[in-house]
Amino acid sequence: MADSAAANGRESATTATTSARQERLQAHLEVLARPRHARWDALGLLAVRAYIRERLGDLGPVEEHRFRSGIDDGTNLILRLPGRQNGLDPLLVAAHYDGPLNSPGADDNATGVATLLELAERWVRQPPRRPVWLVAFDQEEWGMLGSAALAADLRAAGQKLKLMVSLEMLGYTAPQQRYPIAAMRALYGERGDFIAVVGNTATAPLLPGLARRMGRHVPTRVLPVPNRGRALPDVRLSDHSPFWDVGYDALLITDTSFLRNPHYHLPSDTIDSLDLPFLASVTEAVAVGLDGL
């Protein structure tokens, strides 16, 4: 009986933790999911940037990495957190905070930013093994300008990274899953109920362990791609690809975007279209998965 009571107590504690995580993610989403585009919704973009700066600023000093590309300029926000072994090369974990034109962008990419904020709070309380840099990228929707600028600056400075991780659309599930290549269905399944992890070839040794740790919390499918993903252009459409292009190892973590979500870049990409328990599970999976690197 004692063992049963203890098990019930642990289950109740886990349920309470998961519920609290989901509530925090939803609170972030209610602020972040609004039109926010550098050209057409500048006030929305400024409001979201201010919110992220405030939330990250509660946890440590936030660097504003400003960039200019042609006539466009923007601001990436960076919070650097220590790890348990600060001599190790850092992880860079990022999500873009701008949104598509004429859409609240709940999945794209308020889910990624909400997860980034939740991870930041967790890693302040429970530092991961290595240092982690949390980055909110500007102007992904305008050609991945923010990530390209930071990747180039880090490479020019000779900065080493263990891995760059892009959090891109994390909160949508569907009964059916589409793929860029039809044969992938036999390998990855019919249902859109998993999180995908896409990496360049050099990350392949990390993927089985990462998938195993993440898979304790959410179904996880991994895909290593050669040649910076150029044979599958769909897998390049986020902030990891500029890091691939300058020689860093990088991962994309995603619900597969428009291959699953019919609301992609539409006004219907709203919070009520999301699977919030799935998003909460993905957030825990990412935290546990990256803690092991």
Identify the pLDDT of residue 7: 46
- At 8, the pLDDT band (50, 70, 90 cuts) reads low
What would the DSSP string read from start to end of 25-69?
HHHHHHHH-S---TTT-HHHHHHHHHHHHHHHHTTS-EEEEEEEE
Question: Is pLDDT of 139 > 90?
Answer: yes
Using N-to-C axis directions, what is the helix angle for 111-125 and 2-32, rounded to 10°? 130
Question: Is pLDDT of 6 > 80?
Answer: no
Using N-to-C axis directions, what is the helix angle for 276-291 and 207-215, rounded to 10°? 130
Prediction pTM value: 0.94
Catalogue the E-assigned strands of the chain.
62-69, 72-81, 91-96, 132-137, 163-168, 195-200, 220-225, 250-254
- At 11, the pLDDT band (50, 70, 90 cuts) reads low
Question: Is pLDDT of 14 > 80?
Answer: no
Integer Cα distance of 279 and 173 in angstroms: 9
CATH number of 10-291: 3.40.630.10
Percent of the chain with pLDDT over 70: 95
Average pLDDT for 184-205: 96
| Mean pLDDT for all residues in the chain | 94
CB-based contact 278:218 (threshold 8 Å)? yes
Average pLDDT for 150-164: 98
Span 226-239, pLDDT tens digits: 999 999 999 999 99
Using N-to-C axis directions, what is the helix angle for 42-57 and 111-125, rounded to 10°? 10
Write 4-9 long-range contacts (CB < 8 A, 24+).
none
Question: Is pLDDT of 64 > 80?
Answer: yes
Question: Is pLDDT of 57 > 60?
Answer: yes
Identify the pLDDT of residue 16: 75
Identify the pLDDT of residue 224: 96
Identify the pLDDT of residue 72: 82
CB-based contact 120:56 (threshold 8 Å)? yes
**Hey, where are the domains in the chain?**
10-291
Identify the pLDDT of residue 264: 98
Question: Is pLDDT of 10 > 50?
Answer: no
- At 12, the pLDDT band (50, 70, 90 cuts) reads low
